Structure formats: structure tokens, C-alpha cells
Structure 1
Amino acid sequence: MSVFEILIWAGAAITLAGLAALVWCIVTVARARRAGLDDEALRLKMRGVLAVNMGALAASMLGLMAVVVGILLGR
């Protein structure tokens, strides 16, 4: 297995982890909205989810970048 293949598979794993975190964010916010929380409690819940959401987006982006770099350099 070459370095480029490792880069591609590691990037794919990071991307999948980021997507899983995004799904967790969606489910968490949907549950909070269905729970009928008041405005302040909902804001607190969403503030915590926002940090995870940004990290998940960054992880997905970096993972996809690693996959593209591995494909382009592995030619």
C-alpha cells in the first residue's frame, strides 16, 4: 500500500467521521426542537451543537482535501 493510498483512505475516514458528526448535530437539534424547550434553553443547546457542527464541517473539508490530494499525487 502506497503513501497515496493511505492518504486517500485516511481522508475518507476523516470525511465519514465529519459526516457522522453532522448527522449527530441534526438529530440533536431536531430532538431539542421537538422537546418544546423555551427560547433560552434552546439557544444554550444550539450553542453547544454549533461548536461540534463547525468542527465536523472542518473535518469533512480536510478529509476531502486529503482524498483529492492523494488522488492527484498518486497518478
Structure 2
Amino acid sequence: MADSTEHKSKMNREEFADYLRTLADEFEKDGEMDISVGNKTVQLHPPDTVKSEIEVIERSSILRGNKESLELDVNWKAQK
């Protein structure tokens, strides 16, 4: 069984930086961590070592203009 919680939003750069700092603070704690996803809080149980992948995409299109994106993927086997 897989549960998925997803939330999409727009925020300014400062708000996004604050959200990333909150995530970083939670990762620095020992044991479980609470992550806010939209109006829901999800409790996760990461181990001391996690796998991470960062991807940057830069696209240029005459019709649609330039577009850039940053994807961050972090995963692990849950430690309960």
C-alpha cells in the first residue's frame, strides 16, 4: 500500500527559502520528522543516511520563451 500526499502552490522566493529551511531543520532532528504539505502534516521516519538526486533543466523555445526548473528527490527506507 502506498499513500501519497501532494500539494502545488506559488510562493515568492523568500517564502520558498523559508520552507526549505524548515525542511532542513526537520532533517537535522533525530528520529521522526513532521513535514507540512498543504494543509496536512505528514510524519516521516528517515534514517541517518538518505539518497538524493538534484536535476536542473534549462529549456529555450522561440514560441514559449525560456524555462528553467529544479527538481529535488530524496528517498529512503522508513525506519519505524
Does TM, normalized by the shorter one, top 0.5? no
More helix by share: 1
| Larger Rg belongs to | 1
TM-score, length-normalised on structure 2? 0.29
TM-score by length of 1: 0.31
